[in-house]
Amino acid sequence: MKKLFLITAVLMILNLLIMNLTYAASNVGLSDWQIIKKIKKLDKKVDRNPDNAKFLIERGYLKYRLKDYGSAIEDYSSAQELEPKNANIFYARGTVWFARENYNSALEDYNDAIRLNSKDAKSYISRGKTRLRLDDINGAIKDYNTAIKYNKKARDAYVNRGIAHDLSGEYDEAIEDYKHAIKLCKYSPDAYYNMGLAEMNIDDFEKAIEAFNKAIEQNPNYSMAYYKRGQAYLKLDNKQFAKSDFQKARELDPGNKEVKQALDELKEELNNMLKEEKIYY
């Protein structure tokens, strides 16, 4: 009897997980207007079925997609009251708190998600990201280690552990983590970008440029990769290449003040050099 109960419980959890994954996947790429239409339909379903957490979870996710974070939290909180042992609800609400930059509340929800499902790698990864925002680097690394323990193919765990190592000044460990992430998924512009930053931190600017090249090759609109590659070129005294990269970064992200300042300063330096050359000749 006990065995039958356990099998039934496992099947229920699996069905719920599959339902959530299928629902999330089915809503990728929807326009805001399409999402609003779906929310209106769900409003009616929630009114007719006030004790059904599924509709609240679906509506909460769609509101999160619209960045209506307050309403999303309300829906997830109502669903959590109906299903207090559903780890996925705590995880989802934690994601909304994180998006609102309320990291303490996000941490509480991820803690509860892990309490209810202690082997869920994604919860450890998300809690690790939250701990990084709260300057708990060691705690974040422990969470990423645990995530990898339960899912050795968790690419995001390696990327984020690399970032944590980088912040700790452990650049060699960070680079190894980024390499591992790339082995798991060849399309990893973020891993290449962060590897480039780590290479710059150890003054290996040529390798940094190689890493930024890969990031840009995989994501031609990666503005910060152009900017950082430009900085690496500057360190190698290749000012023209640096200028070209700063201009591209500025084109892709015109609101970035740091990029604008770097480009303006370099242009001024190049103009002064040109004036000096003219005087010399």
The model's pTM: 0.83
Cβ atoms 166, 194 nearer than 8 A: yes
Q: How many CA atoms lie within 13 A of 106 on its CB side?
A: 22
Q: Homologous superfamily of 31-117 in CATH?
A: Tetratricopeptide repeat domain (1.25.40.10)
Written as one letter, the residue type at 230 is G
Per-residue pLDDT, averaged over 158-170, amounts to 97
Q: What is the pLDDT of residue 69?
A: 97
Distance CA 130, CA 110 (A): 9
Confidence of residue 183 (pLDDT cuts 50, 70, 90): very high
Assess contact for 230 and 213: CB atoms under 8 A.
no
Query: Each residue of 79-124: pLDDT tens digit?
Result: 999 999 999 999 999 999 999 999 999 999 999 999 999 999 999 9
C-alpha distances out from residue 229 to 117, 245, 262, Å? 42, 7, 12
Q: What is the pLDDT of residue 74?
A: 98
Domain extents in the chain: 31-117
